[in-house]
Amino acid sequence: MPYDTRDPRYFDVAAVTTELARVTRLCADCRRCYRLCPSFDYMLDEAVDRNDGDVARIGPADYRRIVDLCWQCKRCFNNCPYTPPHAWGIDFPRLMLRAKASRARAQGVTRQDRWLGNVDRLGRLASLAAPAANFASRFGPARAALEAVVGIDRSRNLPQFHRKTFARWFQQRGGGRVKDGRRTVLFYSCSVNYNEPQLGRDAVAVLERNACSVECPAQVCCGMPYLDGGDLDAAAANARRNIESLLPAAEAGVPIVVPQPTCSYVLKQEYPLLVPGAGAETVAAATRDLFEYLALRHRQGSLATEFPGPKPGVVAYQMPCHLRAQNIGCKTRDVLELIPGTRIDVVEKCTAMDGTWAMKKEYYPISLGYARKAVAEMDAGRPQTYATDCTLSGLQIEAVRGERPRHPVTLLREAYGLDAEH
């Protein structure tokens, strides 16, 4: 089992190199993922073709480059005809994660990845100093220092922080206001908590409009930023804390609703691998992306479908890669098109953000090339509204357009005619 963290060979560098060579040889023969992302382009154009197709001549530096160019979008997994249970058992994203994890185990997690991975520590500090932190994110000398110390590109637009985090707002509000409705747990995510609290407030408003009794148990970052740096131990520690907090509700059949696709993906797909056992499986089975949950309510005939508020019109909707990777269909489109006069033009191009990859000086310029392609396709439909479920993908779109796209739950809250809470 090359992707099972319990296998003693998982972190063995020699075993990882053997697996990289096996998969590279198969990918070189297939080439279905050519031009899908820089990892495959480098693998096929440089590592394979430069060596006349002789995989045995590919060295460690080339494999490292292939691994480092992967931002874990998961598109190759859906594109590959040889994923498990095929006998070849190719799972390219998990191989890239394994390679990063084995490197981190052998050489230590880099300072950059330790800093970027600990989102909760960074978020707490930056939120406490929100005005100063937000000013520093736009101040040239401060950005130059940040680039020098942790390698965040000085021209990278950064998320803003708020002194009143979503968690603090929810606590001060007294929790959910629908006390006898359908129990619903909101896993709001670190990006909502520290950077987009209004998005969380909008999610609560929409859920309560649909008779949900919203609960927000104690939670930490899902752990994806740690995975970006190969720090499986830290990611598993976060997973254990969240499973312990979410499990009682999951065992009671309460849905865990997540407004950020990366986080819902991690809870569903990564937790059972990071922390194998019944607890992780139960939490994974209870997890729903926010619009997946709303679409389910509509199928059950219990979703509110009266929309007296402003309509979004023609929407250019960038569907996040980690939402597509969940194989649940386009539920955001399905729900938004219940609003009269709304048309959703779905754009499936990746913006190449990932949690931390496009923050880094060496990858930010590459990522913008992919974001420009996504925005060009969004622009083509002459939309009235730009939208995406992923706030970090929204940063990429903003970097190209100069304006943030809307989150679909905000469009839904407005169409319901609900005022924004603060």
Q: Are residues 318 and 285 in the same domain?
A: no
Q: Are residues 355 and 399 in the same domain?
A: yes
- Quote the pLDDT of residue 355: 81
Q: In total, how many domains does the chain have?
A: 4
Burial class, 218, CB count within 10 angstroms (exposed 0-12 / middle 13-18 / buried 19+): exposed
Task: Report, as an integer, the average pLDDT of 65-81.
Answer: 96
In a domain, 198, yes or no: yes
In a domain, 155, yes or no: no
Q: Are residues 45 and 95 in the same domain?
A: yes
Strands, E assignment, 210-364: 212-215, 256-258, 287-289, 314-318, 343-347
- Yes or no: say if 238 and 220 are a contact pair by the CB < 8 Å rule: yes
Q: Are residues 176 and 259 in the same domain?
A: yes
For the chain, the maximum distance between any two Cα atoms, rounded to a whole number of angstroms, is 68
In a domain, 6, yes or no: no
State which amino acid sits at residue 308: P
In a domain, 244, yes or no: yes
In a domain, 98, yes or no: yes
Tens digit of each residue's pLDDT (9 = 90 or more) over 351-398 = 999 889 999 999 999 999 999 999 999 999 999 999 999 999 999 999
In a domain, 58, yes or no: yes
Tell me the pLDDT of the chain averaged across its residues.
96
Q: Are residues 237 and 267 in the same domain?
A: yes
> Phi first, then psi: what are they for 343, rounded to 5°?
-125, 130
What is the pTM assigned to this prediction? 0.96
C-alpha 69/C-alpha 76 separation (Å) is 13
- Yes or no: say if 116 and 225 are a contact pair by the CB < 8 Å rule: yes
- Yes or no: say if 188 and 156 are a contact pair by the CB < 8 Å rule: no
In a domain, 321, yes or no: yes
pLDDT at 1 over 70: no
- What length is written for the chain? 422
* Residue % of the chain over a pLDDT of 90: 97
Whose CA is closest to 205, among 414, 406, 407? Answer: 414
Domain extent at residue 204: 166-298
Task: Report, as an integer, the average pLDDT of 240-264.
Answer: 98
CATH number at residue 399: 3.40.50
Task: Report, as an integer, the average pLDDT of 236-257.
Answer: 98
Tracing tokens 């084995």 back to the chain, one arrives at 102
In a domain, 316, yes or no: yes
Q: Are residues 335 and 288 in the same domain?
A: no
Q: Are residues 319 and 393 in the same domain?
A: yes
Q: Are residues 405 and 286 in the same domain?
A: no
Q: Are residues 73 and 131 in the same domain?
A: no
- Quote the pLDDT of residue 216: 98
Tens digit of each residue's pLDDT (9 = 90 or more) over 200-219 = 999 999 999 999 999 999 99
pLDDT at 5 over 90: no
- Quote the pLDDT of residue 354: 84
Q: Are residues 232 and 325 in the same domain?
A: no
Non-local CB neighbours of 163 within 8 Å, separated by 6+ positions? 127, 128, 130, 131
